[in-house]
Amino acid sequence: MMLAMVQAYSGNFPKHHPSVATPSKDVVMITGTTGGLGAVLLAELITSNDVIRVLLSIGKILAEPHFLTGKRLRWNAKV
């Protein structure tokens, strides 16, 4: 039934032609990097050649400035 509804209501959409080229690398937003798993994922994203920029939620960083002490060396222009 759902497939029939999709076909019935989406058949007249015009073809999308993006006005901006699709980037060749990813931009990633991540939260929860103060925990162990989050810190590992952040390190992987920052060092990945497939990621051009990492966006962070910084609420806890502002509340706990000592959080950055162990990660400061891993930060680069991607952040």
User: 13-58, pLDDT tens digit by residue?
Assistant: 888 888 888 778 998 888 888 788 888 898 899 889 999 888 887 6
CA 34 – CA 58 distance, rounded (Å) = 10
Domain that holds residue 23: 19-74
Distance CA 19, CA 22 (A): 9
Does 52 map to a domain? yes
Is residue 62 situated within a structural domain?
Answer: yes
27, part of any domain: yes
What pLDDT score does 57 carry?
Answer: 75
Total structural domains within the chain: 1
71 has a pLDDT exceeding 70: no
Tokens of 6: 């999709």
Structural domain contains residue 9: no
How far apart are alpha carbons 54 and 3 in whole angstroms? Answer: 36
Supply the pLDDT for residue 73.
42
